Amino acid sequence: MAVRVQHFTFNPFQENTYLLIDDQKNCVIIDPGCYEQSEKEQLLHYIKDNNLTPLALLNTHGHLDHVMGNAYIQRQFNLDFYLHELDIPTMEMSPKAAMMYGIPGFEPSPQPTKLLQDGDKLIFGQIELEVLFTPGHAPGHVVFYNAANKFVINGDVLFRGSFGRYDLPGGSLPTLQNSITKVMFQLPDDTVVYTGHGPSTTIGIEKISNPILQY
């Protein structure tokens, strides 16, 4: 079952927002970072212009830049919203983070309606995702792995030639290193890693060259 990945780069943090789209034009919205009204309209118009049916809203974690569009998406589509319970406090800190970063008009995210756990199997139309618990950047960070199409929506765990920050509240370098080496690097080498910022990469490339290996 082919699942197509469509990405957008939004907000002052240049965050990557993802749509997963199946052959029946169902879609899942992951980490909607749309902040400016033009960004919100771009995402909405893409969904409507392509006759997509959104089935769920998923967050890899609750940091400000990944939840900026949650309230807007929920107003438009009233979806089940999935987040790991340990990252609800992270999400609830995002209004304060918006003030710290001087970002006006941030609309706080609604509360999740579904709580994610490690090993969960999620099925939305033809889109099948396995939830893998990957803390270290945030306490309740998860990634969404699609084995059939060989990709993972990885949020801020791995980046191309880099890795997520661990100096934010609830972050931990040893925990992040464990998530990368014991979880992410156990995926097949040809798995495409769709990152929360910057270009995509593969597990095989990062297993050889990622600087997390030097810690």
pLDDT of 62 over the 90 cut: yes
Give the span between the Cα atoms of 10 and 173, in whole angstroms: 27
Helix axes 70-77, 37-49, angle to 10 degrees: 40
Domain range annotation of the chain:
3-214
Average pLDDT score over residue span 16-27 = 98
Q: 143 with 60: CB under 8 angstroms?
A: yes
Give the span between the Cα atoms of 155 and 153, in whole angstroms: 6
Assign residue 36 a region (left: φ > 0; alpha: ψ between -120 and 50; beta: otherwise): beta
Supply the pTM of this predicted model: 0.98
H/E element holding 178? helix 173-182
pLDDT of 116 over the 90 cut: yes
Mean pLDDT over all residues of the chain?
Answer: 97
> Which CATH superfamily is 3-214 part of?
Ribonuclease Z/Hydroxyacylglutathione hydrolase-like (3.60.15.10)
- The reported pLDDT for the residue numbered 27 is 98
Q: Give the confidence band of 94 by pLDDT, cuts at 50, 70, 90.
A: very high
- The reported pLDDT for the residue numbered 215 is 83
